[in-house]
């Protein structure tokens, strides 16, 4: 093969390569928006820095080292209306209730009717607003079992507006809640030896008292 033929063959290869490159450039599509819009989201990393994910994170198992707490393995940070809690939803996204933690009292709260299901005060008093089904109850104040006592007297006090409703003298609050199902209450909670309901459209709340 002569030098002239080799030169012509090399020139042909160079032209073909340049043609392919020009076609690739012609097929390039510019981003639809200016930076930084349209950029790919940064991945979650193993760094010690705080990271935020706006969408749902699905995991098969969640573990914690317990390095941020003396007792709990996983630490949840966050606050709403001075509470820290976990909202539970069903698969359709409807609220199923909230586990709420507060310096004064904590428990299970149902936002659909603004009522507690069960909670414990900071002093250790356990209160369940509904009925309790148990074999027996031990009364520390008298040192006897309820089945062996002379019985318990209970009353219910209520108010028809926003505000505080208290137990009568000599009675101890055991629970409370809102009046009716269409009550526009944004918060209802124990307060002193009574119950408080707050909200511009509140129709009142009640307190259950026993001695």
Average pLDDT over residues 4-26: 57
Beta-bridge mates of residue 172? 210
Q: pLDDT (tens digit, 9 = 90+) per residue, 76-99?
A: 777 777 778 888 888 888 878 888
Token pair 């511009």 is found at 200
Distance CA 34, CA 69 (A): 44
pLDDT at 1 (0 to 100): 55
Residue with tokens 């124990």: 190
Closest CA to 109 of 95, 120, 98, 101: 98
Each residue of 36-78: pLDDT tens digit?
666 777 788 888 888 888 888 888 888 888 787 777 888 877 7
Helix (H, G, I), strand (E, B) or coil at 5: helix
Burial 160-192 (b: 16+ CB within 10 A, else e): eebeebbbeeebebbbbbbbeeebebeebbbbe
Token reading at 25 = 């450039």
Comparison of pLDDT for 24 and 169, the residue scoring more? 169
How many Cα atoms are found within 13 Å in the side-chain-facing hemisphere of 173? 26
Nearest to 100 by CA among 108, 110, 112: 108
């Amino acid at each position: 093969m002569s030098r002239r033929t080799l030169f012509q063959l090399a020139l042909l290869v160079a032209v073909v390569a340049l043609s392919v490159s020009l076609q690739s450039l012609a097929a390039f599509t510019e981003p639809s928006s200016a930076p930084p819009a349209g950029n790919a989201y940064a991945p979650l990393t193993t760094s010690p820095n705080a990271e935020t994910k706006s969408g749902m994170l699905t995991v098969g198992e969640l573990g914690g080292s317990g390095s941020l707490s003396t007792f709990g393995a996983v630490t949840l940070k966050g606050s709403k209306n001075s509470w820290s809690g976990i909202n539970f939803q069903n698969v359709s996204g409807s609220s199923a209730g909230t586990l709420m933690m507060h310096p004064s009292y904590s428990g299970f709260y149902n936002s659909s009717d603004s009522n507690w299901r069960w909670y414990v005060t900071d002093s250790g008093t356990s209160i369940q607003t509904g009925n309790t089904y148990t074999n027996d109850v031990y009364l520390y104040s008298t040192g006897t079992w309820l089945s062996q006592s002379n019985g318990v007297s209970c009353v219910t006090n209520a108010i028809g507006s926003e505000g505080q409703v208290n137990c009568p003298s000599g009675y101890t609050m055991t629970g409370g809640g809102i009046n009716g199902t269409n009550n526009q209450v944004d918060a209802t909670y124990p307060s002193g030896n009574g119950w408080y309901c707050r909200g511009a459209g509140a129709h009142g709340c009640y307190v259950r008292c026993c001695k």
